[in-house]
Structure 1
């Protein structure tokens, strides 16, 4: 029972954090448009490749967390993008988000990293590798 509850809570966290990154990717690709994102990054002194990298990592990393595919890679890349945002856009604002600070990106970085290495039964990778819920509980018992 304890392992099932753990797997469900990790799944919920992956869905929420992954959906948050997908929403940010949607914002960059659809609402703002990638050209405007590139221009915005340029105003901060960042190259165009940083804007593209960020938008792609948010898209594919968010999907990776939601689906449970390549989770260590997704978690690490998402955390790296958030640490980059911390140092390039939010550090000067102090800690609190209300002041333009870094608390939000710091939490997303930590959550992405933790989820990327959390392991869980409820992943697409686990489904295709044959690690079913019943086989894991038998192995633990």
Structure 2
């Protein structure tokens, strides 16, 4: 690896970016009644709103803290795969202005699955 000594810094920067984005997108799903009707209008079952909010907000928090990073990152990547599938097959969205953020988060979460939490994480503190 060209910059092997920067793996831990790369991991924390990626965790901060991805975790923050997930938390920002998950919080309204946990706290707003309008999110349910908005997602229902898109064709999603309203029961998925609290699930999506939980996965995004608390998964994002786990990534920020570096807690169970590979597991949470893999689950987050799978969630983004499902949202990308929904955006392309059900909503017929185009890449730009449609599902580019989903793809970006999917790939970033996959990178964290393999990178792990790094030295600056709870995972490292508890020996995972």
Same fold, judged at TM 0.5 (above): yes
Kindly provide the CA deviation profile for residues 61-108 of structure 1, in whole angstroms up to 9, marking residues without a partner as x: 1011111111122112212222222222356221112xxx22111011
Maintained 8 Å contact 1:71/1:117: no
| Aligned mates of 2:79, 2:86 — CA distance in 1 | 10
Summarize deviations over 1:90-141 as a string: whole Å, max 9, x none.
Answer: 56221112xxx22111011110121133121221021122x8xxxxxxxxxx
What is the DSSP-based 3-state SS (H/G/I as helix, E as strand, rest coil) of the residue aligned with 1:102?
helix
SS of alignment partner, residue 44 of structure 2: coil
Give secondary structure in 1 for the equivalent of 2:85. Answer: helix
Q: CA RMSD, aligned part only?
A: 1.9
Residue 126 of structure 2 aligns with which residue? 128
Superposition deviation, residue 57 in structure 1: 0.5
5+ residue gaps in structure 2?
none
In structure 2, C-alpha distance between the alignment counterparts of 1:36 and 1:87, rounded to whole Å? 23
Higher mean C-alpha displacement, 42-51 vs 12-21: 42-51
Q: May I ask how many residue pairs the two structures share in their alignment?
A: 123
4+ long deviations beyond 4 Å: none
Rg bigger for which structure?
A: 1
* Bigger relative contact order (CA 8 A; separation at least 6): 2
Partner SS for 2:115: coil
Question: What is the aligned partner in structure 2 of residue 27 from structure 1?
Answer: 28
